[in-house]
Structure 1
Amino acid sequence: MTDHIIFIHGVNTRETKVEPTYADNLIHLLLHKNEAQNTQLDLNMIPLYWGDVTQKDEAMLLDIYQRSPLWKKMNFTGIRGNQLLQFTGDGALFISRYAGVRVIEQLRQQTIAGLYKNGLHGIKPGDRLHLVTHSMGTVILFDALFSARWDPEKTSDYQGVQQIRQAIFGLSAPMEAGLPLCSIHTMGSPISLYSLIMVKNSNGVDDSIPNTHDITPKFQQLLTALHSVLKRKIPWRNYIHPGDPVAYPLEDLLYMMIDQSRQLLDVKDVLTQEPGLLDPFLNNASLGELAEIALFGGRAHNSYWNNDLVASEIFEVVQKSALAIS
């Protein structure tokens, strides 16, 4: 039996775009921990890469900005043209159906290639699936798996999302044909902010208005199906660096939105290191200190890929899932 671990990156909050090798260090840490075990797991690492899909569109927009005679007179042009443009630009482009399809199609092809790598893997009875997502990658992957905007009746002839969902038990696949999702790991995730677009039935809003970006119905469907077969809660670990401005706690929010009975999920927010001595001062920083915070935040935001505590927690959860389900 194989544990398939899918990795997906987010945006890079520093000056350069994410590289296809982004997960190498974390994968190395996980393999090293596996090699130290008396009984080793069969791990299939599948890093997905979408960092080049939106690059040309954002570069074109930045070029338009830079042609403005006001651009050089504005403050924080470095942050505006890199961190802010990449973070908000990737999000805006993915919401666009045109750019979103390009991202999804690349992820679909890479997922299939990873599951059937060199003909050695593929989906076999008893195999398990684990998700390790970073930053905006969490939003992208969860949108693809659970958002109603990708349902067949809304996507015309595009079936890429359905092909991804058909590989997962509880979405479109029966247990004998699909992978059961056995753990979720989110790193530096802003997915809690995207809960705001799922808000409904407030201020007298008509419940009949469709909320096409709401991931909760399909996610609850998946968790309920898993619980009925596996008879266990699905572990969700949310990793937070104290200096990462993109990371937010998820535990209370997830239980409120998805699992009020606390029977389906085992959620835990994990601090990847203790706050530094200067962190209280950063909480009250002035506008003039934003550049320094942005630089430090970029380092913190990308630190999860090299963090031994993160690797230890992921490996422990994967190992326990294997023992519980095998």
Structure 2
Amino acid sequence: MTTDYLLFVHGVNVRERLENEQQKTYRYADSLFDLIQREVPSLQLRKVPLYWANVSEAVLRDFQPSITNASAWQQFWYKDFRTQQLLPFTGDAALYISRHVGSLAVEQLKEQAFSMLTGYQPDDRLHLVTHSWGTVILFDMLFASRWDDPDIPGHQSVQDIRRNLFGVPPGEPEGIRLASINTMGSPLAMFSLITLIGRFNEGSSHDISPKLENLLANLTRDGNKIPWQNFVHPGDPIALPLEKVVPILVDRSERYIDIQDILVLGSGWLEMLAKPLKSSFLSLVNGGNAHNSYWNSLEVARAISKIILTTSL
């Protein structure tokens, strides 16, 4: 029986319990995976949750007192938003882009991916489900040219990961076939600026366009486009639409991707409180809740399960 692998990559503010990290049993995607499985009980699904938060956690933890112990800190507004949302997001971004932390992350992710994707068959399918900064990390690993230098740490791990995805050099005819892309609360639109500015200068080592377009071209030789669902909560301060951004990066002729921005709403009292204030900065009180709401969203689960079912036909 064909297996559909759901490869999850989390974003900021996801921390597993210490015992889960030690046992390498990552649970952050359990709720969403279970919701998806209930929607398609006849299909064989396998969860592949990749985890990288522990790579940057110690650095951010040691750095935060430099901010919060400052004499002026108590006079700052929305301190919780700064420490719980802004600092983790920008901190994780800055640390991953650095070569040292980035290489540690890709080596850890390679080990996890290999252990959980072992034994896939030629007819099996892979569905990417990424959240927040996890979208950027995965796309950077798979497609950015900064990992092509054989002398840098992490090069071999990235090449090994790429070799196991059908259509990505260096092992284009090999690997598991990508069936769909599902991004949640993704800042990929902001990251794409690195690609766009590189086109007007000497290029960027973070440019994901050439290899991503190569993958899509290889996957769509039969004429079927790759479905890409970008889930966006309107109150999520990190999420941005991708419907008009992705065709600028790749697929200008719109031959390869069927991309949709899908608006989803959360629940709970913070959501109710923030709705009347949606045009005000006060709505950020629900920003963190909105950004993490995708993991428990039945609407997201149903949309992903529908894509899985469609690609299985």
Q: What TM-score comes out, normalization by structure 2 length?
A: 0.89
The reply to whether residue 44 of structure 1 matches residue 46 of structure 2 is yes
Deviations 1:110-154 (A, max 9, x none): 1111112xxxxx121111111000001001100110001111446
Q: Residue 2 of structure 1 contacts residue 127 of structure 1 at CA under 8 Å; is this kept in 2?
A: yes
The structure 1 residue matched to 2:107, chosen from 105, 113, 137, is 105
1:138 partnered with 2:135 = yes
Classify 1:216/1:276 alpha carbon distance in 2 versus 1 (closer, same or farther; 3 Å): farther
Match of 2:259 among 222, 244, 267: 267
* Equivalent residue, structure 2, for 1:30: 36
CA contact (8 A) 1:152 1:162 kept: no
* Deviations 1:40-87, CA, capped at 9 Å, x for gaps: 222111011112111110011112223433333433333322211101
Please give the alpha-carbon distance, in whole angstroms, between the structure 1 residues aligned to 2:304 and 2:182: 7
Cα-to-partner distance string for 1:176-217 (whole Å, 9 max, x where unaligned): x31111100000111111111112377xx44xx131111001
Residue in 2 aligned with 1:8?
Answer: 9
> How does 1:99-248 map onto structure 2 within 5 Å?
99-116=101-118, 122-153=119-150, 155=152, 158-171=155-168, 172-175=170-173, 177-200=174-197, 205-206=200-201, 209-228=202-221, 230-248=222-240
- Using the alignment, how far apart are the partners of 1:170 and 1:62 within structure 2? 41
Change (3 A) 1:210 1:174: closer
Q: Structure 1 residues 154, 214: CA separation in 2 closer, same or farther (over 3 Å shift)?
A: farther
Deviates more, 1:90-99 or 1:69-78: 69-78
Give the aligned length: 299
1:305: which partner in 2? 295
1:119 match: none
Name the aligned partner's letter for residue 171 of structure 2. Answer: A
- Which letter does structure 2 place at the counterpart of 1:4? Y
Residues 280 and 130 of structure 1, relative CA distance in 2, 3 Å threshold = same
- Does structure 2 retain, via aligned residues, the 8 Å contact 1:186–1:238? yes
Unpaired stretches in structure 2, ≥5 consecutive residues: 18-25
TM-score, normalization by structure 1: 0.85
8 A Cα contact 1:152 1:159, kept in partner: no
User: CA separation of 1:27/1:225 partners in 2, compared to 1, >3 Å: closer, same or farther?
Assistant: same
1:295 to 275, 285, 288: 285
* 1:10–1:136 CA contact under 8 A, matched in 2: yes
Q: Which residue identity lines up with residue 94 of structure 2 in the other structure?
A: A
Alpha carbons 2:198, 2:207 under 8 Å: kept: no
| 1:248-259 superposed matches below 5 A | 248-259=240-251
Which amino acid in 2 is paired with 1:308?
A: L
